[in-house]
């Protein structure tokens, strides 16, 4: 009886590590692919991220929502209904498909969500939310 338990211990100490390494590599690849998707649109420390994240000479494109619920693109007021069409036209010629959204804290969450939906519908998925650090 004592002999059988020592055999079990020996076989347990010689676990084949190769499948474990394979599983870890697959998990690593999955996290590498999904991490950028999960972080998308949460640029909090904007000055540093904007400086390191810009690959082109284009200026950062900022869309602002003021506390009177009016949307501004480059200091021009835009209606939510026409936003998608206008963004498609603007970003057709831009190589850097990145947009920063600034919304006043008094603006309703619903308007921000609708604006984000319109930005994504225009084909822009690299969206940074501009916030102030505490």
Q: Tokens representing 20?
A: 């474990």
DSSP state, 69? S
CATH topology of domain 40-129: Nucleotidyltransferase; domain 5 (3.30.420)
User: What is each CA distance from 77 to 43, 47, 82, 88, in whole angstroms?
Assistant: 24, 25, 11, 16
Instruction: Report pLDDT for 53.
Output: 41
pTM, whole model, 2 decimals?
Answer: 0.54
Length of the chain: 134
Instruction: Report pLDDT for 5.
Output: 55
Instruction: Report pLDDT for 39.
Output: 47
Q: Tokens representing 89?
A: 């036209």
Instruction: Report pLDDT for 117.
Output: 92
Q: Tokens representing 86?
A: 């206008």
Element (H, E) at 61: strand 61-65
Rounded to whole angstroms, the maximal C-alpha distance in the chain is 85
Split the chain (134 residues) into runs of 10 and give each run's mean pLDDT: 56 71 85 63 41 51 86 85 89 84 86 91 86 72
């Amino acid at each position: 009886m004592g002999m059988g338990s020592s055999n079990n211990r020996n076989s347990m100490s010689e676990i084949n590590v190769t499948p474990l390494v394979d599983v870890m590599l697959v998990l690593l690849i999955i996290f590498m692919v999904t991490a950028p998707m999960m972080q998308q649109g949460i640029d909090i420390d904007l000055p540093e991220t904007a400086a390191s994240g810009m690959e082109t000479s284009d200026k950062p494109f900022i869309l602002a929502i003021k506390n009177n619920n009016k949307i501004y693109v480059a200091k021009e007021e835009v209606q939510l209904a026409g936003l998608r069409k206008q963004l498609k036209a603007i970003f057709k010629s831009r190589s850097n498909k990145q947009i920063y959204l600034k919304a006043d804290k008094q603006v309703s969450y619903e308007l921000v969500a609708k604006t984000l939906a319109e930005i994504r519908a225009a084909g822009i998925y690299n969206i940074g939310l501009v916030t102030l650090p505490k």
